[in-house]
């Protein structure tokens, strides 16, 4: 028996439902964890355009496959619904209170491969022996979950109200200060253990090695945290926190038993100190909403999300929310196979944008403090010494070959920054610092993830110096902007 073709209204509704189910992880992130997305009104319109396009696509496919009750028709409908239902499951899995336990369990090879294999075998058996029953169940399930699309749309519609600042460009305040500019380059997860052999940078990293040969190597520096969420706020506030966590659209920090909303605006913080010393502060980085957090403390700012493709990819595109949704999927197999390509592209965009900011011309007439938070060598590992060259699985941390390859690109990137500054004539009159938030926590060579490299080349410095005493990284960084030192040191 063959069913009649569904009505246009039913096809349109089911097409809308499948589009909504696909965007469920995005809507859930906007609703429950907006801090990381840096969501803008333009992103809402991009998602609306994508919803219309996917509704038309899925509606057409449903119209063609819905009425077919043969085994082939069931297979065709299952293929149409597969990605939206998988996306719904991915979004729900990340909302479960056992999310951390699920991720830990999935690291077991037996579970990682046996569970998907069992589901595939079960589905194949059902298609083989009970195709009509499975077809009826599938149709019923799609109708049952279709109202979820309304929840998704409601969440997307209300998100237009929250608009974090992601870019700042204002006329610098005239200070009259006479001191060298400071460029602070934070490379996320740059490991001391992988970079150094004793007190010397390994020869396989020639750019970093050459830079360190004419700079001050601080060899026993302790980062303010062993994860980015704790360490970077520690740099910004110039203090060590016991814990930092995301609460809705802001950060909460803890020192001992005292918990409060995190702010980097206290007078002894990094950027207030730089402003008071006469610097024109600038910042660019990913992961944190830097422009929102720092506001009037900076004269120039670019802020990028580690999950939202649109923040690092210029122009209007309905593909942005589609790729962002895949990026929000769990990285574990097999979902990671669809997450990997857009995540790799986002990493490339983040590096390109932060590199462009890092190499902006420095105005010799005013001292600038420029803080740039690069997303490498942190995963996804999509670069090697020759440039962008993503492997099949750029999220695989073990073995550490992919991290080491991206560390080689980090070395090359630093060389490009220094070469650009040298070409512009600003390198000799600028203090340049290279440091990390923490080391490579997944790496087999890592000895202490809070022991980080911290290399400072003062303006005009040509000879190497070593500091072997214990130093807190957050105070060492702030010391670079606590006062204006004479030019040409």
**What does the pLDDT read at residue 76?**
86
- Whether residues 270 and 394 share a domain: the answer is yes
Task: Answer whether residue 428 is part of any domain.
Answer: yes
Q: What is the C-alpha to C-alpha distance for residues 440 and 381, in angstroms, rounded to an integer? A: 12
Are residues 85 and 129 part of one domain? Answer: yes
Instruction: Check residue 181 and report its DSSP letter.
Output: E
Q: How many folded domains does the chain comprise?
A: 2
Same domain for 84 and 122?
A: yes
pLDDT of residue 485: 61
* Domain's final residue, options 161, 194, 210: 161
pLDDT at 66: 82
Q: What is the CATH number of the domain that holds 399?
A: 3.40.720.10
Domain end (from 136, 161, 186): 161
Give the position of tokens 């202490």.
Answer: 448
Residue linked to tokens 């060389």: 415
Whether residue 343 is contained in a domain is answered as yes
Question: What phi, psi does 282 have (nearest 5°)?
Answer: -135, 150
pLDDT at residue 1 in the model: 46
Decide if 409 is inside a domain. Answer: yes
pLDDT-flagged residues of the chain (< 50): 1, 488-489
Domain match, 317 and 362 both? yes
- Is 485 within a domain? no
Question: Which pLDDT does position 483 carry in this prediction?
Answer: 79
Query: Residue 110: its pLDDT value, please?
Result: 67
Give domain status of residue 489, yes or no: no
Same domain as 466, residue 375: yes
First to last CA, the chain: 88
Q: Quick one: which of 261, 212, 266 has its CA closest to 237? A: 266
**Position 287 in a domain:** yes
Residue 488: predicted pLDDT: 44
DSSP readout, 17-38? HHHHHHTHHHHHHHHH-GGGT-
Residue that has been written with the tokens 């649109």 in this structure: 310
> What is the spatial distance between Cα 164 and Cα 342, in angstroms, rounded to a whole number?
23
Q: 486 lies in a domain?
A: no
Beta-bridged to residue 467, according to DSSP, are 218
What's the CA gap between 170 and 365, in Å, rounded?
16
Whether residues 137 and 175 share a domain: the answer is no
* Structural domain range at position 318: 167-479
Instruction: Say yes or no: 87 and 180 in one domain.
Output: no
Task: State the Cα angle at 474 between 472 and 476, rounded to 5°.
Answer: 70
User: Number of C-alpha atoms within 13 angstroms, CB side, residue 154?
Assistant: 5
The rounded distance, in Å, linking the Cα atoms of 36 and 209 is 35
Domain boundary among 161, 184, 211: 161
Q: What is the rounded CA–CA span in Å between residue 107 and residue 475?
A: 38
Question: Which burial class, exposed, middle or buried, applies to 357 when counting CB atoms under 10 A from its CB (0-12, 13-18, 19+)?
Answer: middle
- Whether residue 298 contacts residue 281, with contact meaning beta carbons closer than 8 Å, is answered with yes
14 and 117 within one domain: yes
Same domain for 116 and 224, yes or no, is no
149 lies in the same domain as 215: no
Q: Does residue 2 fall inside a structural domain?
A: no
Residues 65 and 105 in one domain: yes
Please write the tens of the pLDDT for every residue from 434-479: 999 999 988 788 889 999 999 999 999 999 999 999 999 999 999 9
Same-domain check for residues 192 and 151: no
Length of the chain (residues): 489
């Amino acid at each position: 028996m063959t069913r009649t073709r569904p009505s246009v209204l039913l096809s349109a509704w089911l097409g809308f439902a499948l589009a909504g189910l696909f965007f469920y992880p995005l809507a859930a992130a906007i609703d429950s964890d907006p801090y990381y997305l840096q969501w803008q009104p333009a992103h809402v319109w991009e998602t609306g355009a994508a919803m219309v396009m996917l509704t038309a696509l899925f509606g057409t496919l449903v119209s063609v496959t819905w009425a077919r009750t043969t085994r082939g028709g069931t297979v065709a409908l299952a293929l149409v619904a597969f990605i939206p239902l998988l996306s719904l499951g991915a979004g729900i899995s990340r909302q479960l209170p056992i999310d951390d336990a699920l991720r830990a369990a999935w690291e077991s090879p037996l579970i990682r491969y046996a569970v998907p294999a069992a589901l595939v075998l079960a589905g194949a058996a059902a298609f083989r022996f009970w195709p009509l029953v499975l077809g009826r169940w599938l149709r019923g399930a799609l109708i049952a979950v279709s109202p979820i699309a309304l929840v998704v749309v409601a969440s997307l519609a209300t998100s237009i109200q929250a608009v974090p600042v992601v870019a700042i460009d204002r006329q610098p305040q005239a200070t009259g200060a006479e001191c060298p500019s400071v460029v602070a380059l934070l490379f996320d997860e740059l490991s001391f253990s992988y970079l150094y052999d004793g007190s010397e940078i390994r020869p396989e990293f020639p750019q970093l090695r050459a830079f360190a040969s004419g700079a001050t190597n601080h060899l026993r520096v302790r980062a303010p945290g062993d994860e980015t969420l704790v360490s970077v706020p520690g740099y910004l506030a110039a203090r060590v926190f016991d814990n930092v966590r995301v609460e809705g659209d802001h950060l909460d920090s803890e020192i001992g038993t005292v918990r409060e909303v995190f702010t980097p605006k206290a007078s002894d913080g990094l950027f207030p100190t730089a402003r008071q010393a006469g610097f024109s502060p600038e910042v660019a980085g990913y992961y944190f909403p830097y422009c929102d957090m720092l506001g009037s403390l900076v004269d120039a700012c670019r802020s990028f999300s580690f999950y939202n493709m649109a923040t690092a990819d210029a122009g209007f595109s309905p593909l942005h929310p589609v790729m962002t949704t895949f990026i929000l999927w769990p990285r574990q197999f097999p979902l990671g196979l669809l997450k990997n390509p857009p995540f790799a592209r986002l990493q490339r965009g983040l590096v390109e944008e932060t590199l462009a900011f890092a190499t902006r011309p420095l105005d010799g007439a005013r001292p600038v403090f420029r803080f740039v938070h690069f997303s490498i060598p942190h995963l996804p590992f999509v670069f090697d010494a020759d440039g962008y060259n993503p492997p099949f699985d750029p999220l695989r941390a073990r073995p550490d070959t992919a991290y080491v390859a991206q560390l080689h690109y980090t070395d090359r990137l630093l060389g490009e920054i220094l070469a650009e500054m040298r070409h512009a004539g600003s390198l000799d009159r600028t203090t340049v610092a290279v440091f990390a938030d923490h080391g490579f926590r997944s790496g087999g060579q890592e000895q202490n993830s809070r022991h980080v490299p911290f290399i400072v080349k003062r303006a005009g410095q040509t000879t190497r110096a070593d500091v072997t005493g214990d130093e807190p990284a957050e105070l060492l960084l702030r010391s670079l902007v606590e006062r204006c030192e004479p030019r040409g040191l």
